[in-house]
Amino acid sequence: MKKSMLVQQIAQKTGLPKSEVEIIINTMLDTITESLKAREAVSFIGFGSFVPVKKNAREIYIPGTTTKVKVEEKYGVRFKPSKKLKAILENETQE
């Protein structure tokens, strides 16, 4: 689902104008991004958590050659679904 579809569905369900819903979603995404940038996890009870993960510096081989390249330390994000969300998704796949 794209953000525009999410905006449309929330606007329909809440009766709020699309422009207001888009502002709310953009603000929420900006806030989540700021927290992750500060290396803080963001949790939504019953949904899941976005957790910053550190990827250590390492050396890798370039495919097809014997050349090694050093990859610097960096951070990524991992989504950890809640038990409730896992159960909902598991039940959907079994039906």
The CATH architecture to which 3-94 belongs is Irregular (4.10)
Tell me, rounded to whole angstroms, the distance of Cα 61 from its chain centroid.
Answer: 29
pTM: 0.77
Task: Kindly give the confidence (pLDDT) of every residue in the chain, 95 residues in length, as a single tens digit, with 9 standing for 90 and above.
Answer: 999 999 999 999 999 999 999 999 999 999 999 999 999 999 999 999 999 999 999 999 888 888 999 999 999 999 999 999 999 999 876 55
Q: Smallest Cα–Cα separation from 51: which of 90, 11, 78?
A: 78
- Contact yes or no for 50/15 (Cβ under 8 A): no
Q: Would you kindly state where each structural domain of the chain is located, as residue ranges?
A: 3-94
